[in-house]
């Protein structure tokens, strides 16, 4: 049986359409520049109307010491007064793709539905900028956000960090840096199907070879580019962290047809064993980022409803 047969039928329809246009999926494009342009073009083609309930502002802020400045996009609910909870948002893309624009719709939706200030970070990508550049950019943006909480209208006692896929791995890596450097206090972290294990040894990392959305070959390639020939540390591959104590309460979800399934379940178990309050959801029939590709599917609506509810509860 192909793993494709295990996908929720409603969620599979847009996947089949994507693979019809691009056989093999995005990773079938070997040149990373062309691959990025293809992804950006497909995202730009989506007709996402502006949300009148949210304002957006881009700011350039200091990056890591001795490194370039970074851009942050700040989302705020229209008409909100006083201080609001804050959500620091890290986009996905396997450490090699993606940008703030590509996840603008999700960041806007979270801002609107949670009633929070969302700060989305534009970090450098591999292979041009391997580890630790991406996680250091994310950490620098988090530090700036916390230092400027008053100006941003954020309650520093209600600051969460969110990211999916590579953004999920960077969410955990950034939280580890904040813990180890005595950095900003985080109320909550939401790493969504996080990319956290460079070893590609789990059963699910061997199962997912032909789905077309982040299959085994593409993951191996992305890790090689991200690590740049260096040995991984816990901030690059959080499964390698020996001590998970002191991290914020967590929410993790992943699909049964996602290459990251087993590493994410194991990591959630380790968080619980370390005494970290952790909510874990494994979504039957969901492939990697299916809630984005099949946004109208009932499964996708359930996935998003749980995330929004968890963010509201954590930041109440």
Number of domains in the chain: 1
Q: What is the torsion angle, in degrees rounded to the nearest 10, for the CA atoms of residue 21, residue 26, residue 28 and residue 31?
A: 120
Q: Can you give the residue range of the structural domain that contains 32?
A: 3-315
pLDDT band at 46; cut points 50, 70, 90: low
Residues annotated as catalytic (active site), given as ranges: 165, 258, 288
pTM of the model: 0.96
3-state SS, residue 290? helix
pLDDT digits (tens, 9 = 90+) for 156-203: 999 999 999 999 999 999 999 999 999 999 999 999 999 999 999 999
* Contacts by residues 230-234 (CB-CB < 8 Å, ≥ 24 positions apart): 230/130, 230/131, 232/131, 232/198, 233/131, 234/173, 234/176
CATH of the domain at 306: 3.40.50.1820
pLDDT digits (tens, 9 = 90+) for 15-41: 998 888 888 888 888 888 899 888 888
Kindly give the pairing relationship between strand 84-90 and strand 154-164: parallel
Q: What is the pLDDT of residue 1?
A: 65
pLDDT digits (tens, 9 = 90+) for 199-228: 999 999 999 999 999 999 999 999 999 999
């Amino acid at each position: 049986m192909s793993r494709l047969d295990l996908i929720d039928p409603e969620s599979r329809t847009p996947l089949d359409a994507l693979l019809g246009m691009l056989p093999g999926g995005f990773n079938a494009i070997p040149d990373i520049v062309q691959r990025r342009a293809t992804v950006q073009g497909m995202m730009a083609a989506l007709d996402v109307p502006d949300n009148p309930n949210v304002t957006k502002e881009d700011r350039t802020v200091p990056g890591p010491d001795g490194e370039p400045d970074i851009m942050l996009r700040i989302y705020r609910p229209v008409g909100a007064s006083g201080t609001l909870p804050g959500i620091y948002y890290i986009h996905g893309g396997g450490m090699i793709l993606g940008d703030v624009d590509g996840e603008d719709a999700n960041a806007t939706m979270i801002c609107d539905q949670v009633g929070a200030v969302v700060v989305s970070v534009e970090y450098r990508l591999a292979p041009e900028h391997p580890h630790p550049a991406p996680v250091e950019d994310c950490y620098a943006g988090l530090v700036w956000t916390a230092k400027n909480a008053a100006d941003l209208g954020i309650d520093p006692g209600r600051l969460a960090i969110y990211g999916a896929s590579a953004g999920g791995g960077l969410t955990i890596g950034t939280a580890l840096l904040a813990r180890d450097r005595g950095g900003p206090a985080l109320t909550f972290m939401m790493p969504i199907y996080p990319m956290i294990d460079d070893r590609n040894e789990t059963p699910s990392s061997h199962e997912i070879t032909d789905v077309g959305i982040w299959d085994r070959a593409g993951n191996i390639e992305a890790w090689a580019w991200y690590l740049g020939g260096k040995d991984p540390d816990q901030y690059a591959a959080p499964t390698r962290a020996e001590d998970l104590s002191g991290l914020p309460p967590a929410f993790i979800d992943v699909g049964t047809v996602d290459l990251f399934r087993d590493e994410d379940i194991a990591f959630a178990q380790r968080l619980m064993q370390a005494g970290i309050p952790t909510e874990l959801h494994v979504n039957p029939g969901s492939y990697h980022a299916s809630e984005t590709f099949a946004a109208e599917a009932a499964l996708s609506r359930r996935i998003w409803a749980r995330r929004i509810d968890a963010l509201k509860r954590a930041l109440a």
